[in-house]
């Protein structure tokens, strides 16, 4: 344990130094890297004593939002939850999040850990610490240079499920995730989440083109612990537990984030909370948490820009961009698209050609930006979407976009590293909370 204590001290020192240098959150991975170098078993040593277990949330889309919702629900039930709120979902990001909360003497004061993990790094984590539970969301093409074929990503999640000791919660409507159930070890408890029959025809909106015609795919029958989503409107939903509600009905609940993807994330979070809490699960606490939890930074986050809303919408693969356009493009706003091709984005951006941008045709796009700003403009041209300007420098692009569209609602669709840069610039300009830290709820309603 002496080595872990020294690692804690070294990591905290690195975090403090990074904060002094950068003025921000202290780097989301560097402190974790330092601590892990000093004590390679840091994760195992610090998480071993968390009594309620270790829950891993993974999948291609929705990890950050779903993790935040699940954490809010568990905290509304009185649980002390450790999580990695900045969305840095590699193991070093998890360690960095620990260092921010741990005292110098070490030890993590939490009842349960809920961790968002990148699909590939989840295996590295699992080899260090076996998760007790896993919530597996979906499989889509993402970062093609890292994950290659979609079957490879499905294989990573299958391996993660095999490492999980107690229970898994699976997406019944995703054929790649659905099949994982057949590979689980005997005794691993399984719950399901998905769409109810009234909206089953919308599954295609969420799936990859090459997985929509799976002939051998059939959702399993829903048991009373399995959560099924019924959307009411763009922001409100009900969750029915069991095919006929034999496990109860949660809602209606109005979220602070709109769209079908956010509702599915809420259904996944509520189903997982029920799986974890059993008889201790309470509808009132869950409804309150879902109603008040704010969108994570950059994932449908709404920023007040001089009295007008600016929506910052992360897009990083064909399925995610298609869902985002379906959710946001129906309401008028000045639109900017920023696409980078750094490592964390995936260097191959050919996936942009698998997204239909026709919904942007009428109003057009004010500006494209990022390293791939010109590629984005060319892609839009193929769909006859007019583009007013291209500026690859993100800072110049943001200044121009805000100045040219003052007094209008605005929206930026952005890849991951461009989102981090734009969110940082917006944070400095409009005094926003650091990424991973919530602003006070304007309703004053405690979660």
Name the residue with tokens 């109003």. 363
Structure tokens at 362: 């009428």
Could you say which of 348, 375, 404, 441 is catalytic? 348
Nearest-CA neighbor of 193 among 167, 158, 234, 223?
223
* Max CA pair span of the chain: 64
Q: How far apart are CA 224 and CA 48, in angstroms?
A: 32
**Residues 349, 420 contacting (CB under 8 angstroms):** no
Nearest-CA neighbor of 266 among 248, 247, 288?
288
Report CA-CA distances (Å) from 239 to 292, 294, 326.
Answer: 17, 19, 22
Phi (first) and psi of residue 326, to 5 degrees: -65, -30
**Residues 50, 112 contacting (CB under 8 angstroms):** yes
19 exposed, middle or buried (CB, 10 Å; 0-12, 13-18, 19+)? Answer: middle
Structure tokens at 228: 């099924």
Say whether 348 is catalytic: yes
What's the full length of the chain, in residues?
447
Q: Helices 394-404 and 416-430 meet at what angle, rounded to 10?
A: 60
187 exposed, middle or buried (CB, 10 Å; 0-12, 13-18, 19+)? Answer: exposed
**Quick check: bond before 245 cis, omega within 30?**
no
**Residues 171, 162 contacting (CB under 8 angstroms):** no
**Residues 128, 160 contacting (CB under 8 angstroms):** no
Whether the CA torsion 94, 100, 101, 104 is positive or negative: it is positive
Which residues have C-beta within 8 Å of that of residue 367, sequence separation ≥ 6?
336, 337, 387, 388, 389, 390, 391, 397, 400, 401
Residues 20-38 as b or e (16 or more Cβ within 10 Å = b): eeeeebbbbbbbbbbbbeb
Instruction: Show which residues are catalytic.
Output: 348
């Amino acid at each position: 344990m002496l080595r872990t204590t020294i690692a804690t001290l070294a990591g905290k020192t690195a975090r403090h130094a990074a904060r002094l240098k950068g003025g921000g959150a202290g780097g989301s991975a560097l402190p974790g890297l330092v601590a892990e170098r000093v004590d390679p078993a840091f994760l195992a040593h610090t998480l071993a004593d968390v009594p309620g277990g270790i829950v891993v949330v993974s999948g291609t889309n929705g990890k950050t939002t779903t993790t935040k919702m699940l954490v809010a629900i568990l905290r509304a039930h009185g649980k002390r939850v450790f999580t990695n709120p900045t969305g840095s979902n590699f193991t070093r990001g998890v360690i960095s999040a620990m260092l921010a909360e741990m005292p110098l003497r070490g030890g993590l004061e939490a009842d349960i850990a809920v961790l968002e993990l990148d699909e590939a790094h989840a295996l590295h984590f699992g080899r260090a610490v076996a998760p007790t539970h896993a919530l597996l969301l979906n499989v889509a093409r993402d970062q093609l240079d890292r994950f290659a074929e979609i079957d490879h990503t499905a294989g990573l999640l299958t391996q993660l499920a095999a490492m999980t000791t107690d229970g898994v919660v699976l997406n019944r409507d995703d054929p790649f995730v659905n099949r994982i159930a057949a590979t689980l070890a005997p005794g691993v408890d399984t719950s399901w989440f998905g769409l109810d029959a009234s909206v089953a025809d919308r599954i295609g909106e969420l799936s990859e083109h090459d997985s929509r015609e799976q002939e051998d795919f059939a959702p399993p029958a829903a048991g009373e612990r399995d959560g099924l989503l019924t959307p009411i409107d763009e922001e409100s939903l009900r969750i029915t537990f069991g095919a006929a509600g034999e496990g109860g009905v949660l809602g209606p609940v109005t979220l602070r984030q709109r769209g079908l993807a956010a509702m599915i994330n809420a259904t996944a979070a509520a189903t997982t909370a029920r799986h974890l809490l059993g008889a201790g699960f309470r509808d009132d606490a869950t409804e309150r948490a879902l109603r008040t939890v704010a969108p994570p930074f950059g994932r449908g986050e709404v920023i007040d820009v001089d009295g007008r809303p600016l929506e910052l919408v992360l897009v990083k693969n064909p399925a995610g961009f298609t869902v985002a356009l379906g959710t946001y493009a129906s309401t008028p706003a000045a639109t900017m698209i920023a696409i980078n091709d750094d490592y964390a984005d995936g260097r191959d951006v050919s996936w942009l050609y698998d997204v239909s941008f026709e919904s942007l045709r009428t109003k057009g796009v004010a500006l494209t930006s990022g390293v791939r700003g010109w590629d984005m403009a060319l892609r839009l041209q193929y769909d006859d979407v007019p583009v007013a300007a291209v500026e690859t420098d993100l800072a110049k692009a943001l200044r121009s976009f805000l100045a040219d569209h003052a007094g209008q609602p605005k929206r930026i669709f952005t890849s991951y590293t461009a989102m981090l840069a734009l969110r940082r610039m917006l944070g400095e300009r409009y005094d926003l909370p650091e990424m991973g830290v919530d602003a006070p709820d304007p309703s004053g309603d405690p979660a």
